[in-house]
Amino acid sequence: MAYVNRNKSKNQATWPYMFLNTSSYSYVDPRYQIRTVEYIADKNGFHPVLNKSPPPLPSDTPVVAAAKNRHLVQFANIANAHNAAPGTVVVPVDSVAVNRAKDKHFLLYQKIAEEHARIAAQLEAEKLANEGTAQPILLQQH
């Protein structure tokens, strides 16, 4: 007996005189992998074996194989071109965008620092101006 539907299939063979039933079924797991369970049911019980091996990958066509080879050659050329000689230190260089961002940050920092210095000077001047006119507050205890 066998049947197949979109997401699973089943095969079964029974030998009643031997009290033996062998069967297998396949299903699609949550990761969309096809899993096959083969089992034997005999007088000693039910013995399932889950086959987790994925189907073999298809082999590359000549066009795909050539493209992969071209990519590996180009990658190796770029990697070799960027390898530093032994004992040399490679210092990173800022890009134009990084330099602009650094300049903008520095200008904003200077502007904020100048504003803070102005506020501090103003507060100090107010403190000095108010020192002579400050009146003590007397608290009365009852």
- Average pLDDT over the chain, rounded to an integer: 82
Lowest model confidence (mean pLDDT) among 28-37, 73-82, 92-101, 117-126: 28-37
Which residues, listed in sequence order, are joined to residue 45 by a DSSP beta bridge? 42
pTM of the shown model: 0.33
Q: Indicate the residue type of 15.
A: W
Highest mean pLDDT among 36-40, 58-62, 138-142: 58-62
Q: pLDDT digit string (tens) for 44-69?
A: 888 888 777 666 788 999 999 999 99
For every residue of 66-116, DSSP letters joined together read HHHHHHHHHHHHHHHHTPPPTT--PPP---HHHHHHHHHHHHHHHHHHHHH
For the record, the structure tokens of 114 come out as: 């100048």
Domain map (residue ranges) of the chain:
2-51, 98-129
